[in-house]
Amino acid sequence: MTRSGTLQQSPLAERIAKLVSQLQSGGVIISDGIQAQEIPGRGIGVIACRMVPAGERIIQFPVTSLLNPRTAKAALLREVSDRGASSMFTLTATPIREEATARKRVKRDASVKAHAGKYANLLDSLSSHQLLAYYLYRERLRKDSRWNSFFDVLPTLDAFGGLPLVWAVLDHGRKRFLDYLPASTYKHATRMSKQFWGDLTAVRSICANVEDVELFIWAWLCVNSRCLYYYMAEAPTTGDCMTLAPIVDFLNHSDEEHCSIQVYDGALATKFFGLVTTRSYDVGDEIYLSYGAHTNSFLLCEYGFTLAANKNTELDITAELLAILKWGRRTSRCQTEGEATEIESPKLTFLDAYGYLGDYTLSLDTISYRTEVALAVSQVREDVCREPTGDEPKARTLERSQLKAFISGMAHGSKFKAQSTATLNAILDDVVNNCDIMLAKANDDIECSGEIRENIVRLYNERKQIACAHLRMHR
């Protein structure tokens, strides 16, 4: 992974040492048992440099040194009162005027106060992700930012080049790779792209001079891929409870549990944000953190990598199943999921009413209950999914009650089993064929190379592996 910076930059080890020393002088405690260093294929990671037992606190951060919406907002407001109108950025709404003479200082102070109040309200209107991306964007442009040694070790925009979001937003000849993605991954990338543009618009609505899309996407992705959960009472949603913690954010992901985050009280009423090992390590072992039980499709979209062997692998057949529910037929290339859910359909309305619309998946050995329900609904007539409006044939009433009993878990749904298996097998045959086509396409495309091809191939191989396992089980 390339690091941010230019030709004059010092070696990575020196930049890491500089960041560590700056953090330590700010009260961060880093165990002598760990060391951050470059790891082939994974950027920077954290390694045990002595035997580290389970239960050791390896990093401890005074919460006031974290970079999160709370500390970023405080820094932004301080800047307004310190710099007044000479602030590098001015708000879209009523910028304050520089007052030239001492006589006008009182008036100026009042103006700064009013400005700060307005600014605080505007900042409060941003989500945590928007606020942090805005803050990183601004700080990255400052020569004297207190976060410069952190920025010196963050990935460059180039290092984010494997993310579908970057292909979608910046293209750089890669937009067409989006068409190689499985439908569910494509949908995830599209959703992120929408969120990204929405966030940029929100930030620009309070500060028009956020013009550099490349710098903003870099900031947005640093926040997206490096933030950890951190509870803040003022955060409006769980998703807003996020913080950056330099060094902690060097830990790479594993689907095994390695470490946990703890917030605890220290001396003098200081609160600490700490990282604690949950297993022991030998010298040279990499110390990981689980980012969550994520599939490779999720990891690719949110973080730009996939795991060679992922415990949370699944096959998403939402697009394929929605096409059957809506149109009563299969489609060969399914990127139609959005389209299918937007169209009025009694079966989709019915599934939605019961909380079973979308997210149809299979793991290597199980079919999710949501998928079973959707398969059952796919085989009944549309009028079974409508509420009765008067007299109706008894058979329809019976079938509706059998379906509802299955959905609510009161019946095994054996009535639906055979047809569900047949429909699923037909979908899985299509999945296998589609995987072969897409694998051949990606492999033949010489521009789709390196890590990007490796990740796409991994997604299709996984899909194919799960589809074949179920076809073997159910044929």
> Which residues are near ligand SAM by CB under 6 A?
1, 41-45, 155, 225-226, 249-250, 252-253, 303-305, 307
Closest of 291, 175, 283, 167 to residue 226, by C-alpha? 291
User: Between 256 and 344, whose beta carbon lies closer to ligand SAM?
Assistant: 256
CB of 241 to ligand SAM, least distance (A): 17
Alpha carbons 367 and 361: distance in angstroms, whole number = 7
Q: At what angle do helices 69-83 and 105-124 cross, to 10 degrees?
A: 160
User: Between 188 and 226, whose beta carbon lies closer to ligand SAM?
Assistant: 226
- What are the structure tokens assigned to 431, written together? 């999945």
CB of 240 to ligand SAM, least distance (A): 19
- What are the structure tokens assigned to 362, written together? 């299979």
Residue nearest to ligand SAM (CB): 43
- What are the structure tokens assigned to 310, written together? 């992922």
User: Between 23 and 377, whose beta carbon lies closer to ligand SAM?
Assistant: 23
Alpha carbons 214 and 271: distance in angstroms, whole number = 36
User: Between 115 and 226, whose beta carbon lies closer to ligand SAM?
Assistant: 226
CB of 1 to ligand SAM, least distance (A): 5
CB of 246 to ligand SAM, least distance (A): 10
Amino acid making up residue 466: I
CB of 137 to ligand SAM, least distance (A): 19
CB 133 within 8 A of CB 219: yes
CB of 454 to ligand SAM, least distance (A): 11
CB of 105 to ligand SAM, least distance (A): 46
Reported in sequence order, the residue ranges of 247-365 that DSSP labels E, i.e. its strands, are 252-253, 259-265, 271-277, 286-289, 315-316, 361-362
Q: Are strands 286-289 and 252-253 parallel, antiparallel or unpaired?
A: parallel
Alpha-carbon separation of residue 358 from 277, 298, 338 (angstroms):
37, 16, 10
User: Between 253 and 404, whose beta carbon lies closer to ligand SAM?
Assistant: 253
CB of 196 to ligand SAM, least distance (A): 16
- Residue bearing tokens 């890669």: 174
- Chain-centre distance for alpha carbon 217: 14
> How many other C-beta atoms lie within 10 A of the C-beta of residue 98?
11
CB of 181 to ligand SAM, least distance (A): 18
User: Between 43 and 182, whose beta carbon lies closer to ligand SAM?
Assistant: 43
User: Between 305 and 406, whose beta carbon lies closer to ligand SAM?
Assistant: 305
User: Between 147 and 250, whose beta carbon lies closer to ligand SAM?
Assistant: 250
CB 212 within 8 A of CB 206: no
- What are the structure tokens assigned to 341, written together? 């859910």
Q: Any idea of the CA torsion for 94, 95, 97, 102, to the nearest 10 degrees?
A: 110
By three-state DSSP, how is residue 345 classified? coil
CB of 135 to ligand SAM, least distance (A): 18
> How many other C-beta atoms lie within 10 A of the C-beta of residue 380?
19
Closest of 64, 36, 33 to residue 277, by C-alpha? 33
Question: Which residues, including other chains, have CB under 8 Å from residue 170's CB and lie 6 or more apart?
Answer: 213, 214, 217
User: Between 253 and 279, whose beta carbon lies closer to ligand SAM?
Assistant: 253
Q: DSSP letter string over 97-146?
A: PPP-SGGGHHHHHHHHHHHHHHHHHHHHTS-HHHHHHHHHHHHHT-TT-T
User: Between 256 and 365, whose beta carbon lies closer to ligand SAM?
Assistant: 256
By three-state DSSP, how is residue 378 classified? helix
Q: At what angle do helices 128-140 and 213-226 cross, to 10 degrees?
A: 120
User: Between 305 and 350, whose beta carbon lies closer to ligand SAM?
Assistant: 305
CB of 268 to ligand SAM, least distance (A): 30
